[in-house]
Structure 1
Amino acid sequence: MFLAHAHARLAAALDGLDAVLGPLGRMFADAGFELALVGGSVRDALLGRDMPDLDFTTDARPDDILRLVSGWADTHWDIGKEFGTIGMIKRGYQIEITTYRAEAYDEASRKPVVAFGTELDEDLVRRDFTIGAMAVRLPARVFVDPFGGLTDLEAGLIRTPGKAESSFSDDPLRMMRAARFVSQLGFALDDSVRTAMTDMAARIEIISAERVRDEFVKLMCGKAPRAGIEALVDTGIADHVLPEVAGLRLEKDEHHRHKDVYEHSLTVLDQAVELEAEYATAVADADIPEAQKVAVPDFVVRFAALMHDVGKPATRRFEDNGAVTFYHHDVVGSKLTAKRMRALRFDKDTIKKVARLVELHLRFYGYGDAGWTDSAVRRYVTDAGDLIVRLHILTRSDVTTRNKRKANRLARNYADLERRIAELAEKEALESIRPDLDGSQIMEILGITPGPAVGRAYRFLLDHRMEHGPVDEETATRILLDWWNENGSVSGTVDPD
């Protein structure tokens, strides 16, 4: 039944693309060249997934491809010409046409060595996995599947066309890609693939950090990121690309005085994925800054969920009374997260967001017991800034206790905190709290020039705003002058007189 439906989906996709496939296929055939839709494009068509990008392969050389498409494509570029790839846009589709090729890595090189081929099957056997080694010859629309990719698609299996060791030696990034497909498609690794990934895990180190990062982001944004992370950890690849996560598998002590931090983190990730969708829907039309809204998938909140406890191994202490503590693991974890993201060449903004969430993930605990003032609620919101919705997701996701009474209590407490945030937000612009007087007003009122005294006055007014809420300018002026008369000279400033 799957096979019949898959072929029907493929036929429907090809029909829908005929305005592109038809002319392109005939153009290459008339010029004496072969052309085939290939790889992920065919796989996605068989699965009924969207196909915004179209990949083709041909026996034509790059210069021939350029000559043929230069008058047909809406626009084209030759950035990948060295590797046999010509890119273009046609009717809104991004298209890449690549010459049949063999691709391999020198043992000590990060750059692929490319040799052009002459046969479609020769090209397909060098592709990463069987589910990407299927093609449709054009313009006749002949389905080509020499390595059983459709069968593996039905079985949900990640398998290589040839020997897995040879495939991963050619391009070690394929090991990351295998884990990515586990996440994106919900497929399982073939035993031969898992064995090769385990044996060759260290080979991933020859791949540039940028390429590893890009595959990792795709993995984290898949429908089952937990499964992808487990594949990386179980095969040892995470030891090389994400050692902080692999290190969460703390040794179990014989008294079981602490929970498995690795399993807890994966559960938090699972729950974050679920809550991400709920919050994204809830805030989609809310009157909040766009920067606070979350998308589906949202890499920042997912990665923060995975990394939130990476500071625990370094901070674990066994107390005399048998307790296990992880003091300051939030701060340590934030630093470790930022360091790892820098190593993977993430941009500064993304690093800042993820690290900040890790740092803030414990801030809520104690809310129900301590009884937060409005000032504490304001600080919670202002410290989170545009990350407030993501912090809601992370904090709620961090509850994995099996004690239903405790879980329900934490859920009620956080719901109450969100209610109070909403109530205060109706009265005040919490996301952009500033003192009731700005720097220029402070200097004018106190008769001082720019310097440390202005900063101290500004911080005093900000603290007052947090504690008591907004006041009018006249009241703020009086409060500032009272503080200045009592504290100005003591703090090392000169009295305005």
Structure 2
Amino acid sequence: MDSAAAALDRLAGTAASKPVALLAEAFAAGGHELALVGGPVRDAFLDRTSPDLDFTTDARPDRILELVRPLASAHWDVGRAFGTIAARIGGETVEITTYRTEAYGDQSRKPEVAFGDDLETDLARRDFTVNAMALRLPDRVLVDPSGGIEDLMSRTLRTPGSPDSSFGDDPLRMLRAARFSSQLGFEVTAEVREAMARLAPRLEIVSAERMRTELERLVGSPSPRAGLELLVDTGIADLVLPELPALRLTVDSEHRHKDVYEHSLIVLEQAIELQDARRKAAGSEDTAPDLVLRLAALLHDIGKPATRRFESGGAVSFHHHDAVGASMAKKRLRALRFDNDTIARVATLIELHQRFFGYTEGAWTDSAVRRYVRDAGDQLEQLHILTRADVTTRNRRKADRLGHAYDDLETRIAELAAQEEMQAVRPDLDGEQIMAVLDVPPGRIVGEAYRFLLELRLEEGALGEAEATTRLLEWWKDRPGR
């Protein structure tokens, strides 16, 4: 984290940018307050680039529109009933929200919103102190009534008021706490953690869509493990993603098989690291989190509790946990209102993640390798990463053996792909055309002519029908023994 002076310099630069300056001038001229608030202010202190320009004001939504319309190339109501207007100004998308308070009723899935009249009250109702800072415009005065800067410096997540009050106002904030712990690398206070555990059942009134959005952001964060562990430890995961804490049921010291919950978190971490490494090796500039891969890594073994069997001799088996897990993942992701494509792709990876281990038990035929590629389809790269990430054994010899086996499989896949690409090359004229050009019947001559044209294609690339015909006739004229 940078010094406060450096952060204020960055905030000053943001305030001087075209869209911010235009808005500040317009609202001041219109007799209204305006402040840059939340994420952009927090991220300035963390030396992060904020993707958002969020503002708050005492102006009501209709008045916001009046002031914004002359400046905007476009504007729209993203949540007018909640006081939010969005606009495109100076090439940037901005959101401007009226000062407000909000709270959920006992059974309501939507918060009740009341507009407010002062900035400090608006900041007091926000989720965490690090998000409850604002920069008044155009004067550029920092407003931090809850000690957000101190919490930023100590990397602490704390609510402006009591956690019970904050989470009672909006239970989704408990999921946001987990998300920010992963996204920002912050620790929640003991008071916040206790309130999350106590108030977890309140999440039942929050819509599945809102919970899914927070889960996506958490899983897509740089280090999702911390947030996921917080959800499990506080009991929130029992409501949002119960298949994850259920993995702890497979821990059995007597039979000494691995901790599947811990294993799943490690697989998620390894999948992220492997994808980053493979992208870098390929020269890719893509840094976007692969939500499908990450969800599949997290959920790949959720079928194990339902399929666990104790065998003779103390062994434990999980037969068909891949198929069972794929089905369970579909059901959970549907309940969270994920889109059909994401659901199908996550399920495919889970269903296929065990397939490779048969490769180590005996040589696969070329057709078996082709089936592996065919079944993975355009998710082959994701399957490569997931399968490699699934090796978490501490036995170095076993890990090396599996790694070398998968290296061999990837090599065979590449060789077969090159071979099939070569086999797909065709000359510019087919057999019927050759017979017509040379005026010959089917037979050995047609085969020789075909091979001649194929060699030309391989040597010189596509010639086109006219040039191929000319070259074929020259070959025919010069052919010995004709």
| Aligned counterparts, 1:248-327, within 5 A | 248-250=247-249, 252-283=251-282, 296-327=288-319
1:381 aligns with 2:379: no
Structure 2: which amino acid aligns with 1:246? P
Q: Does the CA contact (< 8 Å) of 1:7 and 1:46 recur in 2? A: no
1:339 aligns with 2:331: yes
Residue 82 of structure 1 is matched in structure 2 by 81
Residue 6 of structure 2 is matched in structure 1 by 8
Residue 428 of structure 1 is matched in structure 2 by 420
Residue 108 of structure 1 is matched in structure 2 by 107
Residue 226 of structure 2 is matched in structure 1 by 227
Residue 409 of structure 1 is matched in structure 2 by 401
Deviation of 1:78 (Å): 2.3
SS at match of 1:78: strand
Q: Deviations over 1:75-125 (max 9, x none)?
A: 111241111111101122111111110010001001110111111110000
Percentage identity across paired residues of the two chains: 60
Q: Does the CA contact (< 8 Å) of 1:182 and 1:189 recur in 2? A: yes
Q: Does the CA contact (< 8 Å) of 1:52 and 1:94 recur in 2? A: no
In structure 1, how many angstroms separate the alpha carbons of the residues matched to 2:286 and 2:238? 30
Structure 2: which amino acid aligns with 1:178? A
Q: Deviations over 1:267-299 (max 9, x none)?
A: 1011011011112234456xxxxxxx9853111
Q: 1:328 aligns with which of 303, 312, 320?
A: 320
SS at match of 2:43: helix
Residue 50 of structure 1 is matched in structure 2 by 49
Q: Does the CA contact (< 8 Å) of 2:248 and 2:259 recur in 1? A: yes
Residue 125 of structure 2 is matched in structure 1 by 126
Residue 68 of structure 1 is matched in structure 2 by 67
Unaligned runs of 5+ in 1: 286-292, 434-497
Deviation of 1:52 (Å): 3.0
Q: Does the CA contact (< 8 Å) of 1:6 and 1:47 recur in 2? A: no
SS at match of 1:95: strand
Larger Rg: 2
Deviation of 1:24 (Å): 1.4
Structure 2: which amino acid aligns with 1:248? L
More moved, 293-302 vs 40-49: 293-302
Q: Does the CA contact (< 8 Å) of 1:35 and 1:57 recur in 2? A: yes
Residue 391 of structure 2 is matched in structure 1 by 399
Q: Does the CA contact (< 8 Å) of 1:338 and 1:351 recur in 2? A: yes
In structure 2, how many angstroms separate the alpha carbons of the residues matched to 1:86 and 1:254? 56
Q: CA 1:266–1:79 in structure 2 vs 1: closer, same or farther (change >3 Å)?
A: closer
Deviation of 1:17 (Å): 4.8
Deviation of 1:257 (Å): 2.6
SS at match of 1:177: helix
In structure 2, how many angstroms separate the alpha carbons of the residues matched to 1:189 and 1:16? 29
| Aligned counterparts, 1:191-230, within 5 A | 191-230=190-229
1:173 aligns with 2:172: yes
In structure 1, how many angstroms separate the alpha carbons of the residues matched to 2:347 and 2:281? 25
Residue 367 of structure 1 is matched in structure 2 by 359
Structure 1: which amino acid aligns with 2:212? R
Deviation of 1:62 (Å): 1.0
Structure 2: which amino acid aligns with 1:412? H
Residue 152 of structure 2 is matched in structure 1 by 153
In structure 2, how many angstroms separate the alpha carbons of the residues matched to 1:213 and 1:64? 33
In structure 1, how many angstroms separate the alpha carbons of the residues matched to 2:153 and 2:421? 53
SS at match of 2:288: coil
SS at match of 1:394: helix
Q: Deviations over 1:112-156 (max 9, x none)?
A: 101111111100000000010000000010011111111111111
SS at match of 2:314: coil
Structure 2: which amino acid aligns with 1:303? L
Deviation of 1:26 (Å): 2.0
Residue 474 of structure 1 is matched in structure 2 by none
In structure 2, how many angstroms separate the alpha carbons of the residues matched to 1:244 and 1:339? 11
SS at match of 1:296: coil
Residue 419 of structure 1 is matched in structure 2 by 411
In structure 1, how many angstroms separate the alpha carbons of the residues matched to 2:5 and 2:271? 36
In structure 1, how many angstroms separate the alpha carbons of the residues matched to 2:174 and 2:207? 14
TM-score when normalising by structure 1: 0.82
Structure 1: which amino acid aligns with 2:122? D
Deviation of 1:40 (Å): 0.9
Q: Does the CA contact (< 8 Å) of 2:255 and 2:315 recur in 1? A: no
Deviation of 1:13 (Å): 4.2
Residue 382 of structure 2 is matched in structure 1 by 390
Structure 2: which amino acid aligns with 1:92? G
In structure 2, how many angstroms separate the alpha carbons of the residues matched to 1:278 and 1:324? 34
Q: Does the CA contact (< 8 Å) of 2:251 and 2:260 recur in 1? A: no
Deviation of 1:204 (Å): 0.8
Q: Deviations over 1:355-414 (max 9, x none)?
A: 010000000003133011111111111110011000011000000000000000000110
TM-score when normalising by structure 2: 0.85
In structure 2, how many angstroms separate the alpha carbons of the residues matched to 1:142 and 1:197? 34
In structure 2, how many angstroms separate the alpha carbons of the residues matched to 1:411 and 1:171? 47
More moved, 46-55 vs 150-159: 46-55
Q: Does the CA contact (< 8 Å) of 1:73 and 1:90 recur in 2? A: yes
Q: Does the CA contact (< 8 Å) of 1:280 and 1:296 recur in 2? A: no
Q: Runs (4+) of structure 1 moved beyond 6 Å?
A: none
Q: CA 1:394–1:168 in structure 2 vs 1: closer, same or farther (change >3 Å)?
A: same
Residue 440 of structure 1 is matched in structure 2 by none
Q: CA 1:37–1:307 in structure 2 vs 1: closer, same or farther (change >3 Å)?
A: same
Structure 2: which amino acid aligns with 1:154? M
Deviation of 1:74 (Å): 1.8
SS at match of 2:398: helix
Q: CA 1:75–1:229 in structure 2 vs 1: closer, same or farther (change >3 Å)?
A: same
In structure 2, how many angstroms separate the alpha carbons of the residues matched to 1:418 and 1:104? 54
More moved, 109-118 vs 8-17: 8-17
More moved, 233-242 vs 15-24: 15-24
Residue 186 of structure 2 is matched in structure 1 by 187
More moved, 154-163 vs 274-283: 274-283
In structure 1, how many angstroms separate the alpha carbons of the residues matched to 2:5 and 2:110? 37
Structure 1: which amino acid aligns with 2:359? Y
What is the Cα-based RMSD across aligned positions, in Å?
1.7
Q: Does the CA contact (< 8 Å) of 1:198 and 1:235 recur in 2? A: yes
Structure 1: which amino acid aligns with 2:31? G
SS at match of 1:60: coil
Q: Does the CA contact (< 8 Å) of 1:279 and 1:294 recur in 2? A: no
Deviation of 1:16 (Å): 4.4
Residue 239 of structure 1 is matched in structure 2 by 238
Deviation of 1:253 (Å): 3.0
Q: Does the CA contact (< 8 Å) of 2:250 and 2:305 recur in 1? A: no
SS at match of 2:230: helix
Q: Deviations over 1:138-192 (max 9, x none)?
A: 0010011111111111111111000001111111111111100011111111111
